[in-house]
Amino acid sequence: MLAVNGNLSGAVKEGVLNLNADQFKDLPLAAQQLVTVTSGILNAPALVILLLLTLVLIKGTQESARVNGIIVFIKVAIVLVFIAIGFQFINPDNYTPYLIPKGVVGHEGIFEYGWGGVLGGAAIVFFAFIGFDAVSTAAQEAKNPKRDMPIGILGSLAICTVLYVLFSYVLTGVANWQDFADPTRGKEASVAYAITTYMPGYGWLATSVTVAILAGFSSVILVMLLGQSRVFYSMSNDGLLPGVFAQLHPKFRTPYKSNWILFVFVGAFAAFVPGSVAGDLTSFGTLFAFVLVSAGVWMLRRTNPELKRPFKTPLVPLVPILGVVVCGLMIISLDATTLRVALGWMLAGILLYFGYGAKKSKLRKGAHQAKKD
């Protein structure tokens, strides 16, 4: 396809050529027959999932934790079953070459093959680590935050990282890596494709893994909506956002209006923005937040060393510096379109802050009042 029209090289994403309607019309008829055409108005299943999770969050934190616990149990159990059974079907030849070699079509960029490709791939799937930091936003609802937060965040991070590595190792051993880049071989459902193709007799496991993937997405959405509504609640109490975000439900005592506003905005994004774009933007947001947090830890350790810290980041400034450098490199490895859209999103946030938050900040008003006194 690239040989037919070299101008399409910028449309390659993750080894797949993505065309808009105009680019498709410009292709020769013979080439058009090779293209899989997909169309739709909105992603209705995503809206339904968001609505159900929003209702759960409005009901209360305890109910949300119970639902999330059930979802996590289901997906972890299925992942462990796949790892245990999949080890029997590993083909060692699939690990050669271990890294994507230079010259593969669709992987020409420095962050698309070799060790650069490892960094680029890590940036794309970084949103898989997005739920751990969100736990901290619910610290005020924990019984013993000083003890519970570090255990919950670091413990779950360690367990999930081991599961991610084992799952990836088994999956890329069962099927060749090129199967996951081929849209005719499953693409988003490539795990199910690998099982049905290379693990005969385990069709039930393919269905189970699909259920686990949906459950995994749902649990992450639940945690992120919980965390974001609590962030908005705190920001509203500080004057950085309108008071509507801090209004609590008269019965459930949850920031229900914040949850509904999030449903409208997140629902619009999920309904009309392609999943690949949304995933990359989510990874960018998470990586950029980690850069800011890492830099903030170092700065606060220098400017406010006397602050009481129930949990202290070890090896400062080494850990913060590594966090900034590694996350920064992963941000750079994302495609140009994602970076441009993310920049526009950041500018909108900056305008909101200086146009509203900075003027309404209770902390700033308190500082001004203190100066007058």
Q: Which residues lie closer than 8 Å to 93 by C-beta, 6 or more apart?
A: none
pLDDT for res 133 = 66
As to burial, measured by CB atoms within 10 angstroms (0-12 exposed, 13-18 middle, 19+ buried), residue 35 is middle
Integer Cα distance of 93 and 282 in angstroms? 34
State the pLDDT at residue 199.
92
Name which of 134, 145, 152 is nearest 227 in CA terms: 134
> What's the CA gap between 207 and 196, in Å, rounded?
10
End-to-end CA distance of the chain: 72
CA distance 131 to 156: 10
User: What pLDDT, on the 0 to 100 scale, is given for residue 85?
Assistant: 93
CB 119 within 8 A of CB 111: yes
Task: Please give the structure tokens belonging to residue 258.
Answer: 């914040």
Confidence of residue 325 (pLDDT cuts 50, 70, 90): very high
- Per residue in 305-320, pLDDT (tens digit) is 888 887 788 888 999 9
Residue 62 and residue 141: Cα distance in Å, rounded? 10
Residues 93 and 116: their CA atoms lie apart, in Å, by 22
Give the best-scoring range by mean pLDDT among 129-138, 268-277, 353-362: 353-362
Average pLDDT, the chain: 81
Which superfamily, per CATH, for 43-272?
A: Amino acid/polyamine transporter I (1.20.1740.10)
Contacts of 201 (CB under 8 A, 6+ apart): none
- Per the CB < 8 A criterion, the answer to whether 113 and 101 are in contact is yes
Query: Residue 2 above 50 pLDDT?
Result: no
Query: 204 or 4, which is more confident?
Result: 204
Over its C-alpha atoms, the chain yields an Rg (Å, rounded) of: 23
DSSP string, 240-259: SS-GGGGPPPTTT-S-HHHH
Q: Which residues pair with 12 in a beta bridge?
A: 17
pTM score of the predicted model: 0.72
Long-range interactions of 104-109: CB distance < 8 A, separation 24+: 104/15, 105/2, 105/12, 105/15, 106/12, 106/14, 106/15, 106/16, 106/17, 106/181, 107/15, 108/9
Q: For residue 119, is pLDDT > 80?
A: yes
To which residue do tokens 């929003």 refer? Answer: 54
**What are the pLDDT digits (tens) for 138-180?**
666 667 777 777 887 888 888 888 998 999 999 999 988 878 7
Phi then psi dihedrals of residue 33, to 5 deg: -70, -15
Which residues, 6 or more positions from 172, have their beta carbon under 8 angstroms from its beta carbon? 94, 95
Higher pLDDT, 4 or 36: 36
What gap in Å lies between CA 123 and CA 280, rounded to an integer? 8
* pLDDT number for residue 67: 79
The Cα-based distances of 31 to 35, 95, 178 in angstroms read 7, 33, 21
Per-residue pLDDT at 10 exceeds 60: no
**pLDDT higher than threshold 70 for residue 135:** no
Instruction: Give the domain ranges of the chain.
Output: 1-39, 43-272, 274-356
What pLDDT does 328 receive?
A: 92
Specify the pLDDT at position 326. 92
Tell me the residue type at 130: I
- Residue 216 in tokens: 């995994």
User: What does the pLDDT look like over 279-311, one tens digit per residue?
Assistant: 778 888 888 988 999 999 999 999 988 888 877
Single-letter code of the amino acid located at 26: D
